[in-house]
Amino acid sequence: MDQINPEHNSIGWIGTGIMGVPMCGHLIRAGYRVFVFNRTKEKAGELLNKGANWCDSPVEVARRSDVVFTIVGYPDDVREVYFGKEGVFAEPVSDRIFVDMTTTEPAIAGEIYEKALACDCFSLDAPVSGGDVGAVKGELSIMVGGDKEIFDLVKPLLGLFGKNIVYQGKAGCGQHAKMCNQITVAGVMIGICENLIYCKRAGLDFHTMLRSVGSGAASSWLLDNLGPRIMEGDYNPGFFVEHFIKDMEIALDESRRMGIDLPGLELVKSLYERASALGHGRLGTQALLLALEDFCGDEKRGYKEV
**Shortest spacing between CB 241 and a copy of itself, in angstroms:** 15
Of residues 5, 56, 117, 219, which one binds a copy of itself by CB under 8 A? 219
Report if residue 191 touches a copy of itself, rule: CB under 8 A: yes
Q: At residue 140, what are phi and psi to the nearest 5 degrees? A: -70, 155
Question: Is the CB of 21 or the CB of 250 nearer to a copy of itself?
Answer: 250
Question: Binding residue for a copy of itself (CB under 8 A) from 29, 148, 211, 304?
Answer: 211
State how far the alpha carbon of 155 is from the alpha carbons of 7, 61, 166, 261, in Å.
17, 21, 9, 35
Report 114-153 residues binding a copy of itself (CB under 8 A): 129-131, 141-143
DSSP state of 259: T
Amino acid (one-letter) located at 147: D
Compute CA 285 distance to the chain's CA centroid, rounded to the nearest angstrom.
Answer: 13
Residues 87-106 that bind a copy of itself (CB under 8 A): 106
CA 61 to chain centre: 22
Our CB check for a copy of itself shows the closer of 9 and 255 to be 255
The Cα–Cα gap between 88 and 52 comes to 18
Give the nearest distance from C-beta 142 to a copy of itself in angstroms: 8
**CA gap 89, 114 in Å, rounded:** 12
Considering the candidates 115, 163, 170, 178, report the single residue annotated as catalytic. 178
- Give the one residue of 192, 230, 283, 289 binding a copy of itself; rule: CB under 8 A: 192
Instruction: For residue 164, give every residue at least 6 positions away whose Cβ sits within 8 Å of its Cβ, in sequence order, or none.
Output: 140, 141, 142
196-276-265-145 Cα dihedral, nearest 10 degrees: -120
d(C-alpha 67, C-alpha 191), whole Å: 41
Per CB under 8 A, which region of 27-35, 67-75, 82-90, 183-191 contacts a copy of itself? 183-191
Residue 61 parent element (H or E): helix 58-64
Q: Which residues have C-beta within 8 Å of that of residue 49, sequence separation ≥ 6?
A: none
Annotated catalytic, 178?
A: yes
CA distances (Å), origin 86, targets 60, 258, 263: 8, 33, 40
Q: Does 158 bind a copy of itself (CB under 8 A)?
A: no
Gyration radius (Cα) of the chain, Å: 21
Least CB distance to a copy of itself at residue 184 (A): 4
Assess 109 for contact with a copy of itself (CB under 8 A).
Answer: no
**216 interacts with a copy of itself by CB under 8 A:** yes
Among residues 112, 223, 248, 275, which is the contact residue for a copy of itself, using CB under 8 A?
223
Our finding on whether 272 is near a copy of itself (CB under 8 A) is no
Q: Does 169 bind a copy of itself (CB under 8 A)?
A: yes
Stretch that binds a copy of itself, among 7-15, 22-30, 58-66, 261-269 (CB under 8 A): 261-269
Contact 38, 66 (CB under 8 A): no
Least CB distance from residue 222 to a copy of itself, whole Å? Answer: 6
Q: Name which of residues 26 to 55 contact a copy of itself (CB under 8 A).
A: none
Asked if 52 and 25 count as a contact pair (C-beta separation under 8 A), the reply is no
CB of 109 to a copy of itself, least distance (A): 12
In the complex with a copy of itself, the residue whose CB is nearer, 9 or 141, is 141
**Would you name the residues annotated as active-site residues?**
178
